Structure 1
């Protein structure tokens, strides 16, 4: 009491300072997590230094005409070293990562209609498997380019500041990258060494979490993560054969377990969410959790954000013939729910009942793609809707006339006003409502999803074998990425890929289909000629016939086409084919098992 009476002003000031500091900590999300992360950056720099050293060693081996086995052995070491820092490079330097370990395909600058030469580890893999001395100079050229990329890593990680929430987010994304791209062998399509590499990716995540952990998690979540990763590594070390590995159990038993434990680690460490809209929910325990995906990562702006109210009104409009000329056709005319929102015809039919150029694509899961229509001519669903409505052969509608009707409609207008808080309906709102309904069509409730959520009776034994073939021997997951099974690349889902398959006019595979696809809009870009968007395989058994031209009547015909090596396998001249032309050597029984698995992708 004496102290209080003697120093009343000092005591009040101390209390005020403590309260102010407390509120400042609560208001600044980064205050409590900006610990010294130099140890993390130091580890990245150390790994990158080893990466550069191994590149130089490989240059020496190639220069001295080392034998193929020696070169391949050193190259595999180099890839493993990259895997130890992949989590950081992919997250903090995504543009550089594309040229370090991206597909051995040209990078397309769409706006400039130009192609950039592919480079990096996947290009070198194609050179080294198999390797001949004729490729010496080319090998050295690409290896020197890789040194430049290593220098970029060094320079950037010396300069940038990283935070604990970013490091955690990067580590979490790496687990999802392993669950989709890693486990499919996406970046080792020729050598197939991905199962040997995955332990190093997992251990790199473990080390990173150890470096950012505190006593809050060390004896709890972190310890469980370490046990889970050790268990996964044990399984991986026992079998590295892509054709016999048990993918269907490894994902739920190990990878889903690890990704779930990461959320507990995040909670125990008090790590906040990264304030960036992403396709994968920040609170999704696994790729297969309910509501794991955020449709707002695919909308053109905040005002287009998805809501159930928008989807409900969009459904009414979708089924209303008010959108077409003379009220003769609705969206539902060609997109039938029972057929996964396709029409069951080889090609769409015009208002005059004439056959159009392409097959009607499914609208299920269309909201999780960057690029609509087979040729990807529209970036999003909003653009797609207006294109169809105004197309004289499809609906021949006039948006101004339609809006005039809606603004005089006693049912529609009040709902528009309620949702958008405007006096009159506008074009973008109409587009957004239709797009919102389509975004609501992704159910994620198939038997496959149930199986991955822990219900081991959800898939049959044949379907489980089919999935293992789908990911392994058949290599389907190289283009139809888990878990969306479309061409939108995980774990960021910021890009949707197109492929050149060399598709024939029909399942007889006797003549090449001349449709330029996306190439129509990029005529000077050779890589895009005859390219088409990779669609989802979810609900695929309901959407026959298949391919952009509807020329393949059954999934068996489609699988036979792939099994042969696509168009090149049938003798078509398709110099830019992105699908491997190597026969898959699938038996009739194996093809049937894969088809049976794909039935497990049907929503219920």
Structure 2
């Protein structure tokens, strides 16, 4: 029997850099710049766990080779995963390229510039092979286990070569808590076995031990003591219930994970640990995902000169609503992006200047600034490119940037505003793009009832909405693609890439005919895995943005949920060779679906 096709995992990961999988190259690309401080106790613990990891891989090879029963193989595999979790905080932070091939999604890596695919490998590929275990896949299982030995050797070689500092170790430990609060809590890396709740205590204990190793007397009886108590409390809760379908996610996050991440800032302060001077999407001073100004829009800009400012946003808002941007002065950006509808237009598909229906639905601009890839097909990397594309599109605005700039540079209001902001004699093309993009970046408010609940206001969500969130994360597995807290496809905790999915979408909610739109595949015709793939949009303000999907074919959220509940396109009998959405029915009842939809209403900004 041939090896299974890797379609069940619901994410398609994409990197823009070719990853070469031998040790010498990894040493060059993965390691941080050498720093004088070296923490031998921390490195010794990483080495110990990695040695156990390699030993367990060899043991698993033996078990598989002897045609041992499925239950024993799965038990050994779960032990191997737990060992990785003990060093995940370090591998993910210091060796991100290696980490992708140790515990990344069981789907091809795609090198966009070369239009090529790299074979998936690692723990999630092995999970596909072991749950259930089919004896005919023995040789494939052993092959991937041997590849995992190579990754273990990479970890060993790199951590022998690099120096690590206290600020880096703290940053890595903090990042792990946020990883647990988003990917960990959603079963991101155990989508089939669902063992994530059993694994999380080991990740938390690893952070606990690491903080103890870098602590001094400044925090031992203060923040560190509180952190230890908070982690111990979280572990007790996790051990009480490991059922993904009944776990209380809606309270575990604020009661435990947010508490731990908040206490980390106190630890940092007491230990006088400086910030790592790298721009990141999550602010270095964010106590939780839900803190005010937790996210930095400047992590998504094309260069420093494009940095966010209130002045740029205000000017961009004025231009966004001005018909000067269209060829005939008869359409503004706001024509198709209505603030009352979360900056959509309420139509199934966008309308051209001649009032003809275009190919796709108008996407919301709320939270668009927190994505790497704009438009449904992700054809532009950032909002600056997106704005010029729309303005110059002959069917949408048919504007000419040079003509528009000519008008702006003669305008008694616009010209002084541009000169004041950019310190140039006249407005330039990139500046026009930047102010429009900056306004769109300002549209992320993070002030929904859900945000308030996660920040401590326990009356801001109804009982149905709380149950809906637990279903959203657990049984329905929505958070596997719509990552907490942005609820889009931008992958936490470092938010450096945005995912797209192949869902097998139908032309409409009747689900009788497959939609032939190639999506991102149009620009990568030789990459099979990208055909019919589309960006994962945010669910924030989703109740205001009907109709749904890239084609606007689904009139209600109930229709969308019924599509997912059935198993996507494959569930309706469509031939979707590279569907990333699991084709296994979710078995959600109508009542459960209604609760999930009710929860999504709690994501509306106020």
Q: TM-score, normalised by structure 1?
A: 0.94
After superposition, residues 406-485 of structure 1 pair within 5 angstroms as 406-485=408-487
Structure 2 residue 274 is the aligned partner of structure 1 residue 272: yes
Q: What SS does structure 1 have at the residue aligned with 2:181? A: helix
After superposition, residues 528-543 of structure 1 pair within 5 angstroms as 528-543=530-545
2:184 equivalent in structure 1:
182
Q: Deviations over 1:463-483 (max 9, x none)?
A: 000000000000000000000
Q: Deviations over 1:218-260 (max 9, x none)?
A: 0100000000000000000000000000000000000000000
Q: What SS does structure 1 have at the residue aligned with 2:183? A: helix
2:130 equivalent in structure 1:
128
Q: Deviations over 1:163-197 (max 9, x none)?
A: 00000000000000000000000000000000000
1:298 equivalent in structure 2:
300
1:117 equivalent in structure 2:
119
Q: TM-score, normalised by structure 2?
A: 0.94
Instruction: Return the offset for 1:34.
Output: 6.0
After superposition, residues 199-598 of structure 1 pair within 5 angstroms as 199-598=201-600
The 8 Å contact of residues 546 and 558 in structure 1, kept in 2 or not, is answered as yes
1:67 equivalent in structure 2:
69
Q: What SS does structure 1 have at the residue aligned with 2:218? A: helix
Q: Deviations over 1:81-114 (max 9, x none)?
A: 0000000000000000000000001000000000
Q: Determine the C-alpha separation between the residues in 2 that align with 1:419 and 1:76.
A: 56
Instruction: Return the offset for 1:35.
Output: 5.2
1:42 equivalent in structure 2:
44
Q: Determine the C-alpha separation between the residues in 2 that align with 1:405 and 1:247.
A: 54
Q: Deviations over 1:492-535 (max 9, x none)?
A: 00000000000000000000000000000000000000000000
Q: Determine the C-alpha separation between the residues in 2 that align with 1:218 and 1:116.
A: 46
Instruction: Return the offset for 1:361.
Output: 0.1
Q: What SS does structure 2 have at the residue aligned with 1:504? A: coil
Higher helix share: 1
Q: Determine the C-alpha separation between the residues in 1 that align with 2:153 and 2:38.
A: 24
Instruction: Return the offset for 1:594.
Output: 0.1
Instruction: Return the offset for 1:575.
Output: 1.1
The 8 Å contact of residues 171 and 205 in structure 1, kept in 2 or not, is answered as yes
- What stretches of structure 1 of length at least 5 have no aligned partner? 1-32
2:193 equivalent in structure 1:
191
Q: Determine the C-alpha separation between the residues in 1 that align with 2:50 and 2:289.
A: 30
Q: Determine the C-alpha separation between the residues in 2 that align with 1:186 and 1:217.
A: 33
Structure 2 residue 109 is the aligned partner of structure 1 residue 107: yes
Q: What SS does structure 2 have at the residue aligned with 1:487? A: coil
Instruction: Return the offset for 1:36.
Output: 4.4
Q: What SS does structure 1 have at the residue aligned with 2:117? A: strand
Q: Determine the C-alpha separation between the residues in 1 that align with 2:444 and 2:328.
A: 31
Q: Deviations over 1:333-356 (max 9, x none)?
A: 000000000000000000000000
2:55 equivalent in structure 1:
53
Q: Determine the C-alpha separation between the residues in 1 that align with 2:560 and 2:446.
A: 24
Q: Determine the C-alpha separation between the residues in 2 that align with 1:517 and 1:53.
A: 44
Q: Deviations over 1:346-370 (max 9, x none)?
A: 0000000000000000000000000
Q: Determine the C-alpha separation between the residues in 2 that align with 1:549 and 1:290.
A: 34
Instruction: Return the offset for 1:374.
Output: 0.1
Q: Determine the C-alpha separation between the residues in 1 that align with 2:167 and 2:446.
A: 29
Instruction: Give the count of matched residue pairs.
Output: 572
Instruction: Return the offset for 1:379.
Output: 0.1
Q: What SS does structure 2 have at the residue aligned with 1:357? A: coil
Q: Which runs of 4+ in 1 moved over 4 A?
A: 33-36
The 8 Å contact of residues 39 and 166 in structure 2, kept in 1 or not, is answered as yes
Q: Deviations over 1:408-430 (max 9, x none)?
A: 00000000000000001000000
Q: Determine the C-alpha separation between the residues in 1 that align with 2:86 and 2:385.
A: 41
The 8 Å contact of residues 38 and 163 in structure 2, kept in 1 or not, is answered as no
Q: Determine the C-alpha separation between the residues in 2 that align with 1:308 and 1:98.
A: 37
Q: Determine the C-alpha separation between the residues in 1 that align with 2:405 and 2:574.
A: 48
Q: Which has the higher contact order (CA 8 A, sep 6+)?
A: 2
The 8 Å contact of residues 34 and 164 in structure 1, kept in 2 or not, is answered as no
Q: Determine the C-alpha separation between the residues in 1 that align with 2:428 and 2:252.
A: 50
Q: Determine the C-alpha separation between the residues in 2 that align with 1:416 and 1:108.
A: 40
Q: What SS does structure 2 have at the residue aligned with 1:215? A: coil
Instruction: Return the offset for 1:326.
Output: 1.2
Q: What SS does structure 2 have at the residue aligned with 1:105? A: coil
Instruction: Return the offset for 1:132.
Output: 1.6
Instruction: Return the offset for 1:583.
Output: 0.2
Q: What SS does structure 2 have at the residue aligned with 1:142? A: helix
Q: Determine the C-alpha separation between the residues in 2 that align with 1:307 and 1:233.
A: 42
Q: 1:89 pairs with 85, 91, 98, which one?
A: 91
The 8 Å contact of residues 342 and 541 in structure 2, kept in 1 or not, is answered as yes
